[in-house]
Amino acid sequence: MEDYYKLFGIDYNSTIDEINNVYKNKIMDLKTLPFLTENDKKYIKTLKKAHFIFNNAQFKKTYDNYIKNKNQINYSDEIRSSKKNTQNQNYLVDRIFSFQSQTNFDLNHNELLRPKNVGLSSDDTPNFDKPLDYDETTEFKPFNFDT
């Protein structure tokens, strides 16, 4: 959300009369243009939103609280995102190092030994003739690398 105080060029303690005068002057400046571009139309909409907020005491109070707490909100969002990134990185590191215990090669012969059905459970064989039914609950069994 934009800072409407900067848009109007006023401070937080401005009266309603000052706000209305600034609004009228900005609109009058736009009326002198021969035609309005898309950016001008967006600018007018933004001016109208700001004017509406400043003329309603409850909206102005809510907006002022938002502006005052804006830096604090951004800081807490950054903390949350950094915690989430740290958790994702920890998860990836755990996944990478868990693969060391699941090696499928013989270090003595430098030959890759792969099981026949990698990723498929030895208990279930796929039935390709039957169409998939997404309503069924299917239990997936992890492949046993020890056998």
At 101 the pLDDT is: 53
* pLDDT-based confidence at residue 110 (cuts at 50, 70, 90): very low
At 67 the pLDDT is: 83
Measured CA to CA in angstroms, residue 53 lies from 12, 57, 67, 119 at distances of 13, 8, 13, 59
At 84 the pLDDT is: 63
pTM metric for this prediction: 0.47
Find how far residue 7's CA is from the centre of its chain: 27
pLDDT per residue as tens digits for the range 58-91: 988 888 888 887 756 555 566 666 666 666 666 6
Percent of the chain with pLDDT over 90: 19
At 17 the pLDDT is: 93
Bridge-partner residues for 105, per DSSP? 112
Q: For each of the domains in the chain, give its residue range(s) and CATH number, in order of start.
A: 4-68 (1.10.287.110)
* pLDDT-based confidence at residue 49 (cuts at 50, 70, 90): very high
Bridge-partner residues for 112, per DSSP? 105
At 24 the pLDDT is: 93
Contacts of the segment 68-74: beta carbons below 8 A, 24+ positions apart: none
